[in-house]
A and B are shown apart, each in its own frame.
Chain A
Amino acid sequence: MADQTRTIDDAFAPPGVSWTRVSPKLATAYRISLCAVALLVLVGIVALTFIPDYPDVISVIAGGVLLVVVVWLWWLIGRRTGSWGYAEREDDLLVTSGIMFRRLVIVPYGRMQLVDLNAGPIHRWLGITTVQLHTAAATTDASIPGLTPPVAADLRDRLARRGEQRSAGL
């Protein structure tokens, strides 16, 4: 099976044609959270300037650092959300994610104990949902964020159906 000419990246290659990617709205959701946190930090930095005898240069430096970090994270969020992907196969679901720390999870349908659908306020506003699979192992960690609600509901129902067909106890 293993083609010797493959490069390292192929360890996380899709099983078939390609991964099903998640909605780019996920990046928007993360960026909104990022901006909210950045805004809070900015308020703190500005507040510091009102302290008498406080050297303004520190605030300027802090602001600069904040800007660099925000730009970097902005870019990283784009890459990271682009790395989420899943693929449904006959017997199992594959989920991959990560840029720096990559991972790939293979979850057999027969091992799924429950499938969760979650959406926080920002995610709901943007119309995206997280599908999370649970097995008896706590380390499974197979969640797929950034799916549109119809896709997520379809996926959940499909997974539940297949899980029931192949249920294998413990």
Chain B
Amino acid sequence: MSGGERDPIAFEVVKPGRSAPDEHGRRRVHPWTPFIEGVRWWPGGVVAGVTLAAQLDVKVGTGAILVGLAGLVGVTLLGMAWGFLGWQRRTFWFDEDGDLRVDSGVLSRNERRLQLSRLQSVDVLQPLIARFAGLAEVRVEVAGAGDSKINLQFLTLREANELRNEIIARSAGVRHDVAEAPENVLVTVPPGDLVISLLLRAETWLLLAASILLLATTLWTNGVSGIGFLLVGGIPVFQVFTQFTRYYDFTVAESPDGLRLRHGLLQKTRQTVPPGRVQAVGFVQPFLWRKRGWVRVRLNVAGASSSTQGSGNETYTENVLLPVAPWPVALAIVARVLPGVDLQSIPTIPAPDRSRRRAWIQWRQLAVGWDDQVFITRGGRITERWDVVPHARTQSVRVTQGPWQRSLGLASMHVDSTPGAVKITGHHRDADEARRLAQEQADRASVARAGDRSLRWVAQQHLAGQQTGAATPSAAPHDGGILGPQASEIADLGPTPSAVEPDPGERPEA
């Protein structure tokens, strides 16, 4: 839906609307940003302060409370002052090439330019504190090594949604002043299912056991091992609670500008994954989910790994497409991400029987398979995994062999994807077979790259960006307002114009 929907916990303190651009068309984030930055560390800071006071055996009294309050106010004011300076010096705008630019930095200046033709994802996040004020953060990621993203915090929710639409429209090369593309909700995860699915994970019980152990030893030793809590960052079982709040009300919607994922109880997140940006998909089925036929679906999205460097509580270690869903639903959603792929019809080849001497538990599950679009690996006995990578997204292929595998004549074959939770490995194949699979996969990837249609989306933008450039190979209409790779009739270009010329003699005759 559009940004007009009302957040029940928001106070009507912030007037909606756009922040006015200055004479160069540059905009600032919302003036409330320094205030939010000043107070957002309160929960963590108070917990840390109280813990520290408890460890140092500070007597609870007026003095201690006054010192605490003075510290709180002082640090908050300092944070706000610093935040104000940062706010003043942070501007963002779209430059003449249509790329997003951000200038920021108080002491050291940083000018960042995101090439939107390489856009990977746009997220609109609402941390709890920002939600109270009706504000949101926009996080833009493009493909690239290292830090290739921009966090714009904070804008009003409506403005954030408008910016998101504009970024996606510009990236797709269509007019950017059109209304938000309509969406079609595909699936919503019921909170009850989410709770049960979390309870049915062995991880939850391990974390609970760790928490009890830590609590018991802390009481036993009069608080000395409370340090342990600091080391693991709180009570371990809280991670499960965090998972619940993060994936609460998980909604997957489809729209012409990509899949939209919305979730969160405290911090609300709206992710948009444009078409053709999914690098790999993985299904995970913990042991206790099997009876219910549930599965979790994860994604690799290029550039998203850098979000693990994100500040504080916003780190993501995995990109979840569906926290829990029945198999048919999961397959239906994945079919939207990988159009034309029928995962169930792909024949798989199991690992040889002698792999049992290397992988005692999971050897029976180990298998690889492929069709003309994707490569798929299977593994894990207790927690089962299925990992899928499109041939066109194969980065490189590896064969590895340790001494133990060598003595058994086995080798593992890996298909490298962009960094993420999904790893595609055909474990413990026959050594010769592994080499052959690797070579064949490299060839399949090469064929798939040559015929890849999903990058048309990029090509379209590229033409839009190259309008003033000299050699535009074939002018195509790109302002029709029709989003989506299927609809566009346009020459199949690579992202660089020099890549247009294919070498007919290059393909080895197999």
**A106-B397, A107-B396, A169-B494 given as contacts; is B418 within 8 A of A8 (CB)?**
no
In the complex, what residues of A have CB within 8 A of residue B452's CB? 168
* Contact partner, B446, options A12, A110, A138, Cβ 8 Å: A110
A-B contact pairs, 12 of them (CB 8 A): A1-B436, A6-B432, A10-B431, A11-B411, A102-B399, A102-B400, A104-B400, A110-B446, A137-B395, A140-B396, A166-B449, A169-B143
Neighbour of B458 across the interface among A104, A141, A169, CB < 8 A:
A169
Known contacts A136-B418, A138-B419, A165-B503; is-contact A104 B395 (Cβ 8 Å): no
New A-B pairs, 13, CB < 8 Å, besides A102-B406, A136-B418, A137-B395: A2-B432, A8-B406, A11-B411, A101-B400, A102-B401, A110-B449, A134-B145, A136-B279, A137-B417, A165-B501, A167-B499, A168-B449, A170-B118
Give a binary string over A94-119; 1 marks a CB under 8 Å from any B CB, 0 the rest. Answer: 00000011111111101101100000
Complex Cα spacing A103 to B435, Å? 10
Say yes or no: A136-B506 contact (C-beta < 8 A), given A102-B401, A165-B501: no
State A2–B494 Cα separation when bound (angstroms).
34
A contacts, CB < 8 Å to B: 1-2, 6, 8, 10-13, 15, 89-92, 100-108, 110-111, 113-114, 134-142, 164-170
- Looking at the complex, which one of A106, A138, A167 makes contact with B496 (CB distance below 8 Å)? A167
Report Cα–Cα, A8/B354, bound state, in Å: 14
Interface with A: B15-23, B194-202, B437-445, which one? B437-445
Q: What residue in chain B is nearest A110 (Cβ atoms)?
A: B449
Do B416 and A164 touch across chains, with their CB atoms under 8 A apart?
no
Interface residues of B in 400-418 (CB under 8 A from A): 400-403, 406, 409, 411, 414, 416-418
B358 shortest CB reach to chain A, Å: 14
- Min CB distance A38 to B, Å, is 25
Contacts A90-B506, A113-B145 given; does A11 touch B435 at CB 8 Å: yes
What secondary structure prevails in chain B residues at the interface with A?
Answer: mixed
Q: With A137-B416, A137-B417, A168-B499 as known contacts, state yes or no: A2 contacts B433, CB within 8 Å.
A: yes
| Residue of B302, B401, B417 touching A11 (CB-CB under 8 A) | B401
Q: Is B455 an interface residue (CB 8 A)?
A: yes
Shortest CB distance A159–B (Å): 13
For A1, A114, A168, the residue with the greatest tally of chain B CB atoms inside 10 Å of its CB is A168
Whether A136 touches B302, Cβ cut-off 8 Å, given contacts A91-B506, A165-B499, A168-B452, is yes
Picked from B392, B495, B503, the residue with its CB within 8 Å of the CB of A167 is B495
Q: Which chain B positions have C-beta within 8 A of A10?
A: 431-432, 435
The number of residues on chain B lying at the interface, defined by a beta carbon within 8 Å of a beta carbon of chain A, is 54
Q: Which of B465-510 contact A (CB under 8 A)?
A: 494-496, 498-499, 501, 503, 506-508
A12 touches B501 (CB 8 A): no
- Could you say which residues of chain A place their CB within 8 Å of the CB of B501? 165
Residue of B nearest to A100 (CB): B403
Closest Cβ neighbor of A3 among chain B residues = B432
What B residues does A101 contact at CB under 8 A? 400-403
Which residue of chain B is the closest to A1 with respect to CB atoms? B436
CB atoms of A170 and B279 under 8 A apart:
yes
- Nearest A residue to B280 by beta-carbon distance? A137
Contacts of A1 in B (CB 8 A): 436, 439
B434 within 8 A of A: yes
| CB atoms of B399 and A111 under 8 A apart | no
Complex CA distance for A1 and B437, rounded to whole angstroms: 11
Q: Which of chain A's residues have a CB closer than 8 A to the CB of B418?
A: 136-138, 170
Alpha-carbon distance between A114 and B229 when the two chains are bound, in angstroms? 43
Most chain A CB inside 10 Å of its own CB: which residue of B395, B406, B418, B503? B395
- Contact between chains at A12 and B396 (CB < 8 Å): no
**How far in angstroms is the closest Cβ of chain A from B200?**
31
| A170 engages B396 (CB within 8 Å) | no
Q: Does B271 contact A (CB under 8 A)?
A: no
Say which residue of B402, B436, B446 sits within 8 Å of A92 (CB atoms): B446
- Report the minimal beta-carbon distance from A110 to chain B, rounded to whole angstroms: 6
- A109 to B135 CA separation, bound complex (whole angstroms): 45
The B110-151 residues at the A interface (CB cut-off 8 A) are: 118, 143, 145
Beyond A102-B406, A134-B145, is A11–B396 a contact (Cβ under 8 Å)? Answer: no
When chains A and B are docked, how far (Å) is the Cα of A154 from the Cα of B402? 33
Query: Given A101-B402, A135-B395, is A91 in contact with B499 using a C-beta cutoff of 8 Å?
Result: no
Q: Which of B7-65 contact A (CB under 8 A)?
A: none
Residue of A10, A103, A170 most packed against chain B (CB within 10 A): A170
Is B305 in the interface zone, CB < 8 Å from A?
yes
Contact in complex: B442, A8 (CB < 8 Å) = no
**In the bound complex, CA of A161 to CA of B402 (Å):** 35
List the B side residues contacting A135 at CB < 8 Å: 395-396, 416
Cα–Cα distance between A6 and B145 once the two chains are bound (Å): 40
Complex contacts, B414 vs chain A, CB 8 Å: 139
Contact of B396 among A8, A89, A90, A105 (CB under 8 A): A105
Q: Which of A12, A91, A103, A140 contacts B395 (CB 8 A)?
A: A140
Say yes or no: is B398 at the interface (Cβ < 8 Å to chain A): yes
> 9 closest Cβ contacts across the A-B interface?
A137-B416, A137-B395, A11-B431, A169-B495, A11-B435, A168-B449, A135-B395, A106-B397, A104-B399
**Please, how many angstroms separate the alpha-carbon atoms of A137 and B494 in the complex?**
19
Closest residue of chain B to A169 (Cβ to Cβ) is B495
Distance between Cα atoms of A142 and B400 in the complex (Å): 13
CA–CA, A11 to B503, complex, Å?
A: 30
Q: Which residues on A sit within 8 Å (CB–CB) of B495?
A: 167, 169
Shortest A99–chain B CB gap in Å is 9
Complex-state Cα separation, A103 to B449, whole angstroms: 25
Complex contacts, A90 vs chain B, CB 8 Å = 506-508
Chain B 365-395 per-residue mask, 1 if CB under 8 angstroms from chain A, else 0: 0000000000000000000000000001111
- Give B447's nearest chain A residue, CB to CB: A91
Closest residue on chain B to residue A133 by CB atoms = B396
CB distance from B260 to the nearest CB of A (A): 21
> Do A8 and B400 form a contact, CB below 8 Å, given A92-B442, A111-B395, A165-B499?
no
